[in-house]
Amino acid sequence: MVTGIIMLPLPGPGWVVIFGGMAIWATEFVWAQLVLRWTKRKVTEAAQRALDPRVRRRNIILTSVGVVIIAVLAGVYLWKFGLEMPWKIKDQ
């Protein structure tokens, strides 16, 4: 499980290792069973909320607005400063 926590910011299947470790611990420890049950319940609730059409529509709208804002900011930056490559290559 510690390996899974280390893999969260690093490349690797961090959450899979964490949940796999909790499943193994749940065969031996009651507290791990309770944590695993609570986690499964929360994941199921989140999945149900994500399938709600209103939530999906809201997420699509927010993502679209974010993409438009980023595109406008990038366009303004490129218009004002241009595209300057970090290396200097001179034609010979």
Q: What is the pLDDT of residues 14-72, one digit of tens each?
A: 777 788 888 888 888 898 899 889 988 998 998 888 888 898 899 899 999 999 999 99
| 89 occurs within a structural domain | no
| 62 occurs within a structural domain | yes
Same-domain pairing of 7 and 46: yes
Residue 25 is predicted with a pLDDT of 85
Same-domain pairing of 37 and 57: no
Burial of 26 (0-12, 13-18, 19+ CB in 10 A): middle
Same-domain pairing of 65 and 35: no
Q: What is the pLDDT of residues 73-86, one digit of tens each?
A: 999 999 888 887 66
Domain count, the chain: 2
Q: What is the pTM of this model?
A: 0.48
Could you tell me if 15 and 8 are in contact, meaning their C-beta atoms sit under 8 angstroms apart?
Answer: yes
| 88 occurs within a structural domain | no
